[in-house]
Structure 1
């Protein structure tokens, strides 16, 4: 016998809690997606399809107009692959370039690169209603520190949330019209401020998203230390291009599937260093943090889909969601390509990823030779500077989520 749960409004669930025999009526939930990229397309289509009152905020007028025009052709069609099943649906969110659109929203989800988080938070801050849920997917790289810095006195008026990565690997097929979800994570850990949420946010997210559940973590530090794109993207780039001498290639090399033994060893080395940092943080703060090894995270996310789990390299190479994805490249002539070191794999995943990890390691005096090696190469490749003579004092720290930027010199200061 199927138990049919009673639907209650989000406002009721916030006020009285969510009984076991009830579920949240998503038609009573207003959501704003901030961003217009792959993840924003997927999220907006999914949440609109699920019944949420969904809007999208983009500050750039031309981009917003382009997105609105595409959606007006029949909504965003989403094709989502979960295991071997392809499901299809459409969503038709409202689009605006006016930040005041968030004023009526219960949930504001920033689905944009890490370097855009600070400016988006500044734009929406005046319009946030008390009790709103405000967060980012993903929120690694010091998102909570940036949010505390920007929201200041408003930080206690909202519930801050974040996840360790995106719920999926998504790709826009036609802007404003069609998006493909190539791989769906089964579980995606979430953390909140306050640590114990005042509202049933986990149940809400489990209802809103298709194919993914959101277990609640212990502290935002778990998200910041979580081994994901913060080490994956810079590490794979380093392995592929560290000895590159400038000769163009005739085809784009495969990114994840092209992982070799050297790059895999650097990824493992950085993952091991994260574990050492985690242990030092736990000892100093008296906390228990749930932060897996890199291989553990990948298996937690894609375990049912990965064909060969025998090594870190084979986990990457046999993940269906990674098939066909190539290195970020620039075309220099007919059939010639060179690496694009201005891609977000460095410009986002260093200042809001690897550099933040290195900054926390410095707070607890844990040596990180693998992180230093990859970070030094990456910052030189993209013309930025975070690590300078062994300390996080480079000129570009001021545009990052690195703890030292905010004047934090003790790991205890990261807890608020």
Structure 2
């Protein structure tokens, strides 16, 4: 296959997910895979590693065995123009707080009919993408997935990344401007890069993906675990995150999920023809996306505790004097998943006229830990709202405006 016939894929990021996607994409001879990482000297370091090594993706199988995929991306750079020019599919696979930086750097070089994919988009991705691209967004297709396709981790930077588990299926939505000139449809194009699993499932409207974003999971679990924690009494070990979930944490997560469902139902009533049935309870979400990896499906707590894809994952902690640990609220589970997660969902709920008391409780606690102000009482009117991706930040004042883009 000639170079001109290959699909030009750009992966933005240098973390776990970007390593994984770069390896999978580059292993397909029909793709020309570029990587853009803006963080420090990552691009230089990664390029140097690959001069004498392949990028190996190790896939852990349910039977305890493993499979290896070896490949090399065509280009790894921190130069946006070099990376973006000619790209047909652009994946942003960086934390939500970094999306703005990447949009700012790549938007001047994005051509018409480009497919831009948030993997995951996280809540508010489309609002920010439309805002940053301006008129150019009308000639592109914007896609967003509700979570990462896999649980994965870097074992050796630039050279070895491990996939611990695949989701069975992955919900995604699209906002399409002009007709794409991709060789296949947007969903077929993304599926081709990901490989056979997970199977992409189209969600009919992007607000449903926002309400199902995985960012609803971490803040309730953090709040349930640490809201009564005394930092003067640090722990000797880092506690398990998912496998250590208790009834209180599961109840908080379930309540937040119920509030998202209530927002979805309110939208259906107010906007004719909109189907929000894809907004399902978080227990059903786990049972759908990790069907083969959960041992005990009795309830939400046991479902999280026995999900093999989450084996060994720990709470974000920082070490203090004496070698003990206290929670790290600067980690993305709070610092990202509140302003780019719960606050966005709260904003959609506020436009829909739905009260969200449990979200409000968690946001109020979290903003204290982050030294930010998003909520004042139960209203999104805090001074730090411009640091979030709530729809109100981007000028959305009515529910209808969300569906007129």
Paired residue for 2:228?
243
Shift of 1:353: 0.6
- State the alpha-carbon separation in 1 of the partners of residues 328 and 200 from structure 2: 34
Question: After superposition, where does 1:173-212 map in structure 2 within 5 Å?
Answer: 173-194=155-176, 198=180, 200-210=185-195, 211-212=197-198
- Confirm or deny that 1:314 pairs with 2:314: no
Do the aligned partners of residues 396 and 253 (structure 1) sit closer, same or farther apart at CA in structure 2, a change above 3 Å counting?
A: same
Aligned residue pair count: 393
* 1:63 positional shift: 2.1
CA contact (8 A) 2:113 2:179 kept: no
Q: 1:70-89 deviations in whole A, cap 9, x for unaligned?
A: 23331221112343352211
**Kindly tell me: are residues 61 and 104 of structure 1, through their superposed partners in 2, closer, same or farther at Cα, counting changes over 3 Å?**
farther
CA deviation string 1:40-94 (max 9, x = no partner): 1111111111232111101234122222222333122111234335221122122
TM-score by length of 1: 0.91
How big is the alpha-carbon RMSD for the aligned residues of Structure 1 and Structure 2?
1.9
Q: 1:30 to 1:82 in 2, by over 3 A?
A: farther
Q: Distance in 2 between matches of 1:129 and 1:196?
A: 12
Any idea what SS the aligned residue of 1:88 has? strand
Instruction: Find out whether 1:232 has 2:217 as its counterpart.
Output: yes
Structure-2 residue corresponding to 1:276: 262
CA deviation vs aligned residue, 1:321-376 (integer Å, no higher than 9, x gap)? 11100001111235311111100111110111110001111111111111111111
* Alpha carbons 2:36, 2:79 under 8 Å: kept: yes
Does 1:220 pair with 2:198?
Answer: no
| Aligned partner of residue 200 in structure 2, secondary structure | coil
Which structure 1 segments of 5+ residues have no match?
1-6, 12-26
Asked whether the 8 Å contact 1:233–1:349 carries over to 2, the reply is: yes
In the alignment, is residue 43 of structure 1 matched against residue 21 of structure 2? yes
- Higher mean alpha-carbon deviation, 383-392 vs 262-271, is at 383-392
CA distance in 1, matches of 2:59, 2:115: 26
Q: Pick one of 45, 59, 62 that aligns with 1:66.
A: 45
Aligned to 2:354: 366
Is 1:121 the counterpart of 2:103? The answer is yes
Contact in 2 for aligned 1:141/1:351 (Cα 8 Å):
no
- Describe the superposition over 1:238-264 as per-residue Cα deviations: whole angstroms up to 9, x where unpaired: 111010111211100000110000000
Give distance in 2, aligned partners of 1:367 and 1:296.
23
Answer whether contact 1:252 1:337 (CA < 8 A) is retained.
Answer: yes
Report how far residue 10 of structure 1 moved: 12
TM-score, length-scaled by structure 2: 0.93
User: Are residues 1:97 and 2:95 paired?
Assistant: no
- Of residues 337-346 and 50-59 in structure 1, the stretch that sits farther from structure 2 once superposed is 50-59
Q: Tell me the alpha carbon deviations over residues 169-205 of structure 1, each in whole angstroms, 9 at most, x when there is no partner.
A: 1111111111111111111111111299745121222
CA contact (8 A) 2:146 2:210 kept: yes
Q: Is the 8 A contact 2:250 2:301 kept in 1?
A: yes
Query: Mean alpha-carbon deviation: is it higher for 235-244 or for 205-214?
Result: 205-214
- Judge conservation of contact 1:281–1:364 (CA < 8 Å) in 2: yes
Q: The residue matched to 1:166 in structure 2 has which SS?
A: coil
* Structure 1 residue 389 displacement after superposition: 2.0
1:318/1:196 CA distance change after superposition, 3 Å: farther
Residue range with higher mean Cα deviation, 356-365 or 65-74: 65-74
